[in-house]
Chains A and B, each alone.
Chain A
Amino acid sequence: MVVSTQTKNAGQRQVKVVGLESTIVRFCGDSGDGMQLAGTQLTNTSAIFGNDVSTLPDFPSEIRAPVGTLAGVSGFQLAFGSKKLRTPGDQVDVLVAMNPAALKTNIEDLNADGTLIVNEDAFTGGNLAKAGYENNPLETGELDKYHVFRIPIDKLNTEACKDSGLTGRTVGRCKNFFALGVVYWLYGRPMEPTLDWISAKFGTKPAVAEANTKTLKAGYYYGETTEIFTVQYTVAPAKIEAGRYRKLTGNEAMALGLIAAAKLANKSLFYGTYPITPASDILHELARHKNYDVRTFQAEDEIAAMASVVGAAFAGAFAATGTSGPGLALKSEAIGLGIMTELPMVIINVQRGGPSTGLPTKTEQADLGQAIWGRNGEAPMCVLAPQSPGDCFDIAIEAFRIAVDYMTPVMVLSDGYLANGAEPWKIPDVSSLPKLTATHPQAGNDFHPYQRDAKLARPWAIPGTTGLQHRIGGLEKSDIIGDVCYDPKNHEHMIRTRREKIDKIAESIPPLEVFGETTGELLLLGWGGTYGAITAAVENAQAKGLSVSSAHLRHLDPMPKNTGEVLSRFKKVLIPELNMGQLLMLIRAHFLVDAIGFNKIQGKPFMICEIENKIEEILGNKPR
């Protein structure tokens, strides 16, 4: 939305300056072109400038697919604005395409009157052929509806770095910063945050630092002085809550949450894991913070990672693991052991496209069923899902709170979209964080391993405690005493008790809140990473006068106690999910509600407009 228009002098000429409420930029190029870095720099700069930001990195699973091919295209999209941004946006306003393959795979997402910046030098015969273009799209007129800026980025970058003494290959790797410089000018962004980053990053390689600095500035001045740009945009700082902020991805936030949870309980954190996309960054972040008594264990496989977590929990650590769908499948046996032994632990599943290896770098919400049911036997699991990158921090603490209070494994369903996406995170006041306490019994006359408290939690007696030696394991246990027990009635009692304990968690979680009117025609019920898109779509539909509200589940098993009651207050319930309808099935089963599913399984998040259209389809675009 345009909020202002003025003119200003730029160099020798006048440019129109258009103030925007928010904007969406996407960088795309070869996976080796540094598009993620360019996007991250624009994100950081905009966040520091005071905008709200939301990002969507999109990269292939091949680290370096053949240069110039469609398979090798890597993209980074971000929205920044002077208003609250709930998603990285639907259609792109400015697309930077570093080669024909990037253009081909991304042009569909550019707004009809959007700005397209292309690296003209890459539109050569070979690259065009690799992208499947018979004719150069820059010449055919097919891009006429866009504002196309053809910039010889390779040449200008080489020119900017010519005195650097670096090899041609190293110089070539700087070209992302030329493109970034152009975009910085286009939005009137300050270059200082990136210049600071360059000198910190390449402090020991002054030639590389200088080359990147020169090409960034060359890009910026190219925008400033070249007459092809007649419009410059501004995006004012957002009115956001006062405080200190930093930018966090979901995975970083999850890692900080895990550390905080352990620290709040005065415990060491054990993180046993096996690298898997898109969860590995949690391990990377944790491994940096050893001074917080973080014990990371990179196991030989997913099974060992989970088994080590069970062992560490037995020994008294705050134990957690992180994985993605295929890894969770391998972990299910040891998770069952965690459930049987009723030890506290947190299992993070950063969902990706499945089944099997599926789409490793793409997002999906198709592991809800696996989380809730994916084990042999009646193996109830507490399941939580964060709703934004920053919420990963809170959900990690919440997961450990429940795990320790109720002596149970807790699963957290993040996803690729939340894990890699970033948003400003208001740094919390430590004193405002939940209090976590872990208590271990000391020797007494009445210790029994399966004696339960009011919450049905058994005691967390840990090795090293004199007099409390006991044996646990995967075999069914007798109630209270905890000896191996095959008694039929005892088995049923224990099965029902384990389920009842999970149900009791509902007594400690907040009620489901409704966004909008608390009764009406239509309720959108969501969970996990779709929160931003659902909320924005509902907000837009409400602005049009439609009778629509939304609610978002952070606790999926057990659900908040008022869930059924909230659903009953709406004539229709729509459940948008990035799967075939897994929450839909749960809601129908639990509440006998004839909810409607809205499902997308493309490895991509919902666009706001998709949900908005669905709302209008159901309500017939009829304002109240």
Chain B
Amino acid sequence: MCADTATVQLKAKDFGSDQDVRWCPGCGDYAILSQVKKVLSTLGVSRENTVFVSGIGCSSRFPYYMNTYGFHSIHGRAPAVATGVKVANPELDVWVVTGDGDALSIGGNHFLHAIRRNLNINILLFNNRIYGLTKGQYSPTSPFGKRTKSSPFGSVDYPLYPLSVAIGAEATFVARTIDVNVKHLAYVLERAARHKGISFVEIYQNCNIFNDGSFLYATGKDTKNDTTLYLEDNKPLVFGGDTKKGIRLNGMNPEIVELGGDVTEDDLLFHDEKLAEPSLAYLLSRMHHPEFPEPMGVFRCVERPTYEGMLVQQIDDAKKSDADASLERLFNGGDTWDVK
């Protein structure tokens, strides 16, 4: 172990541990690991004040590869472990690394409640739409009808969509990015890290062993311009390759329109991350391939007091209004009587 000194600007590689990375060759997780390290060095945070907490699954090996404090906990419980870490020491930068099964299946409850409490932690959900570590069963984000080892005739489970769930749980920061677009990945991670409050990031991540090509529509050179839409705050929702297209609101529903002729950018739906009301973010989270391009970027970013901030505030207020915190005082509370 080497000691950090505050004056040294850490490089991305300084955030790597001495452990061999054991994800399958070609796994999307490598790109995410590399961008997380890069972003941490950009942010100028220290290794000793950073904690990575994970659950179980391929993604949850993540903490071992970071030279920070790390906790590889149990299946689905990472948000709860992270809550304990953050409440015990709010000064720490806490990251949760989870997957679609870990966060939304076995850990669904903890995922919801960590989000609604608005702890200042970052949750990165590596969504590969499959159970990888257990070798290829369908996950809660696998498409309906998905044929896997545990669903040879096609899955009859309807999927759920992580961003919709997070928005429903009152998340204050919600974003989506994709493993192969490393620049965008870094941008979103940095935004997430800088947000004060819960930051939820869904990362489309290719499992090249059990679900290869699941996001090919969003990454292929020929298709990505028509299947993804990169969000920019206060800008119209535009996308498209050769033909420039946009999203327009028709009543309560989004529709794809081609720009040019009668339709100008002013007719389109404009993005606004900071709307207090989450309906726009939710609407965006419901745009799925192939009917719509899938939005990438920051869906929602609003301010709200954090859980641990308010908890500590209550303690500070109590200490101020009731300064005598001696054990004598505690023990002598209530009705006492003396026996001579």
Instruction: Say yes or no for A319: interface residue by CB 8 A criterion.
Output: yes
B interface with A by C-beta (< 8 Å): 1-4, 17, 19, 46-51, 53-54, 56, 63-64, 66-74, 77, 79-89, 91-92, 109-110, 112-113, 311, 314-315, 317-319, 321-323, 325-328, 330-340
A contacts with B: majority SS: mixed
Smallest beta-carbon distance B205→chain A, Å: 21
Assess the B335–A464 pair: CB atoms within 8 A.
Answer: no
Instruction: Say yes or no for A272: interface residue by CB 8 A criterion.
Output: yes
Measured CA separation A10–B318 after assembly (Å) = 51
Smallest beta-carbon distance A9→chain B, Å: 30
A446: nearest chain-B partner, CB-CB: B1
Q: B17, B84, B109 — which one has the most chain A CB atoms within 10 A of its CB?
A: B84
Smallest beta-carbon distance A78→chain B, Å: 15
With A295-B88, A443-B1 already in contact, the answer to whether A472 and B71 are too (CB < 8 A) is yes
Assess the A466–B3 pair: CB atoms within 8 A.
Answer: yes
With A447-B1, A469-B69 already in contact, the answer to whether A315 and B74 are too (CB < 8 A) is no
Could you say which of B73, B83, B327 contacts A474, with CB atoms under 8 Å apart?
B73
Assess the B337–A470 pair: CB atoms within 8 A.
Answer: no
Assess the A443–B328 pair: CB atoms within 8 A.
Answer: no
With A467-B2, A484-B64 already in contact, the answer to whether A304 and B89 are too (CB < 8 A) is no
Assess the B74–A292 pair: CB atoms within 8 A.
Answer: no
Which chain B residues lie closer than 8 Å to A469 at the CB level? 1, 47-48, 67-70
Could you say which of B2, B82, B89, B321 contacts A316, with CB atoms under 8 Å apart?
B89
Assess the A295–B315 pair: CB atoms within 8 A.
Answer: yes
Could you say which of A268, A334, A337, A466 contacts B88, with CB atoms under 8 Å apart?
A268
With A307-B73, A308-B80, A308-B83 already in contact, the answer to whether A300 and B327 are too (CB < 8 A) is no
Which chain B residues lie closer than 8 Å to A305 at the CB level? 80
Which parts of A167-206 form the interface with B (CB within 8 Å)?
Answer: 193
Interface size on A, residues (CB 8 A): 75
Assess the A240–B339 pair: CB atoms within 8 A.
Answer: yes
Assess the B48–A467 pair: CB atoms within 8 A.
Answer: yes
Q: What mask results when residues 293 to 329 of chain A are scored 1 for a CB within 8 Å of chain B, else 0?
A: 1110101110111011111111111010000000000
User: Can you report 23 A-B residue pairs in the complex whose CB atoms are below 8 A from each other?
Assistant: A244-B337, A246-B332, A246-B333, A256-B330, A270-B88, A291-B321, A295-B315, A297-B83, A303-B80, A303-B110, A304-B79, A310-B81, A311-B84, A312-B87, A314-B81, A315-B86, A315-B92, A430-B327, A463-B51, A466-B4, A469-B48, A472-B70, A472-B72
Instruction: Say yes or no for A259: interface residue by CB 8 A criterion.
Output: yes
Which chain B residues lie closer than 8 Å to A337 at the CB level? 73-74, 77
Measured CA separation A433–B326 after assembly (Å) = 14
Measured CA separation A231–B226 after assembly (Å) = 95
Measured CA separation A469–B15 after assembly (Å) = 10
Instruction: Say yes or no for A435: interface residue by CB 8 A criterion.
Output: no
With A463-B89, A468-B1 already in contact, the answer to whether A311 and B81 are too (CB < 8 A) is yes
Which chain A residues lie closer than 8 Å to B337 at the CB level? 47-48, 50, 244-246
Which chain B residues lie closer than 8 Å to A313 at the CB level? 84, 88
Measured CA separation A469–B18 after assembly (Å) = 12
Which parts of A449-496 form the interface with B (CB within 8 Å)?
Answer: 462-475, 483-484
Which chain A residues lie closer than 8 Å to B79 at the CB level? 304
Smallest beta-carbon distance B309→chain A, Å: 13
Which chain A residues lie closer than 8 Å to B53 at the CB level? 311
With A307-B81, A307-B84 already in contact, the answer to whether A245 and B336 are too (CB < 8 A) is yes
Could you say which of B110, B331, B334, B338 contacts A307, with CB atoms under 8 Å apart?
B110
Instruction: Say yes or no for A290: interface residue by CB 8 A criterion.
Output: yes
Measured CA separation A260–B329 after assembly (Å) = 11
Assess the A471–B335 pair: CB atoms within 8 A.
Answer: no
Smallest beta-carbon distance A292→chain B, Å: 5
Which chain B residues lie closer than 8 Å to A263 at the CB level? 325, 327
B333: nearest chain-A partner, CB-CB: A246
With A311-B85, A469-B1 already in contact, the answer to whether A475 and B71 are too (CB < 8 A) is no
